[in-house]
Homo-oligomer: A and B are copies of this chain.
Amino acid sequence: MDPLETRELRYFMAVAEELHFGRAAERLGMAQPPLSRAIQQLERRLGVSLLKRNRRGVALTGAGEMLLHEGRAALDAITAAARRTRRAGGADSSGGTRNRMVLAVKAGASHDLLHKLLDAYAAEPDAAEIEVLPSGTCEQGEMLRDGRADVALMHKPFNSLTGFDSEELMTEGQIAILPAGHPLAAHKTLSLADVSDIPDLPLARWSRDGTYPPGPGPEIHDQTQLAQLIALGRTVAVFPDSARAWLWAEHTAVPLTDAPPVVTHIAWPAHSRSLALAGLLRTATRL
């Protein structure tokens, strides 16, 4: 009948994630009884049971899982609307001039491409002000979805472009970054197999949502950390070619022959229709 309220969605998401009314209520900063009631009302309203209450906690039904996924997308869209509206209203109060735009970039990646892009765009007539937002590991997608960013540089195959519009900007090979003195550093090229099986140099493991894939290598969540460990001869890493920009003297880069190429795209939410974005895209595709 009448539409879902965002409050109800927020409540349900909390319960669906915690699978526990008490903890969910705490997270929401409210008491448990009104939360229980709100969820019941939601279920009545939708005419669907969302949770199975076993006496020991709760579990999601099929409909519950659906609402968990779709609801997250909807909440993201709402916060995106609020964020982008605030951003659009911050500077201009009428004309559409001086729009600010946020560009998300994986920290340290595509450095000179980014530099050239920003310089070229700044030279455009009535260029918008661009704020560069360094993003953590592969979270540019979330940032576009929830409105923290308006446009992003994304790197296939690490980022997924599904749900966004994009233009291809650049393709590059990958390199292995080795300690300068290591025997393998003398090679002209290497294969993935070569670098994944070095007995004294386990491949570094990157943090993904705070968890790490299993393996022998050191746990990394920061490029500086990684650079240091490589320089100390403790690990080896595989990066796109443009990573040469931040290599140290103690590093040696060796091209990999069989690593998949990395394609840099500029991506934006599919429904975007802004002049500033159009200008940036024009600049980017002309580079």
How many identical chains are in the complex? 2
Q: Compute how far the CA of A47 lies from the CA of B93 in the bound complex, rounded to whole angstroms.
A: 11
Q: Is A223 an interface residue (CB 8 A)?
A: no
Q: Is A253 an interface residue (CB 8 A)?
A: no
Stretch from A71-79, A254-262, A278-286 that touches the partner: A71-79
CB contacts (< 8 Å) of A186 on chain B: these are none
Q: Is A61 an interface residue (CB 8 A)?
A: yes
Chain B: minimal CB distance from A119 (Å) = 26
B73 touches A85 (CB 8 A): no
Q: Compute how far the CA of A46 lies from the CA of B90 in the bound complex, rounded to whole angstroms.
A: 10
Q: Is A188 an interface residue (CB 8 A)?
A: no
Q: Is A183 an interface residue (CB 8 A)?
A: no
Least CB separation from A274: chain B residue: B66
CB-defined interface of A1-38 with B at 8 Å, one 1/0 digit per residue? 00111110110000000000000000000000000000
Q: Is A84 an interface residue (CB 8 A)?
A: yes
B271 touches A73 (CB 8 A): yes
CB contacts (< 8 Å) of A99 on chain B: these are 62
Seed contacts A9-B81, A76-B77; 12 additional CB < 8 Å A-B pairs: A3-B6, A4-B82, A5-B6, A9-B78, A48-B86, A62-B92, A63-B86, A63-B92, A67-B84, A70-B84, A77-B77, A77-B78
Q: Which 8 A-B pairs have the closest CB atoms?
A: A48-B89, A163-B270, A63-B89, A70-B81, A74-B77, A66-B88, A77-B77, A162-B270
